[in-house]
Amino acid sequence: MAEAAQLAARGHVVTLLVLWPDARRHRLRFDPRGVWVQSGGLFGPALPGDPAFRYWRFAERAAFEEARQRAQRDPAGSGIAETLPS
């Protein structure tokens, strides 16, 4: 969280994805340090209408959620929602 907060303080829009090894529902909240935190189960639903359980590998789920967030933040594809190296 410290690195995410530092990036947010520099003006980046940051989402921290916290995945548990279960099927709990995802929730999204805004942390006072300026970081969006999406947390939930690796196999759980992120949106209403998603199945209660869906098998994912970690890398697949992380890539899917990143693409979904990018589409919401940058629907025109202008490149403003860049992924920072880890």
Sketch the domain layout of the chain as residue ranges.
2-73
Dihedral of CA atoms 61, 5, 13, 28 in degrees, nearest 10, equals 50
Tens of pLDDT, residue by residue over 24-75, are: 999 999 999 999 999 999 999 999 999 999 999 999 999 999 999 888 876 6
Q: Name, in order, each residue with C-beta under 8 angstroms of 53's C-beta and a sequence gap of 6 or more.
A: 23, 43, 44
Sign, CA torsion 39/12/83/3 = negative
Q: Is the pTM of this model over 0.75?
A: yes
Which contacts qualify for 50-57: CB closer than 8 Å, 24 or more apart? 52/23, 53/23
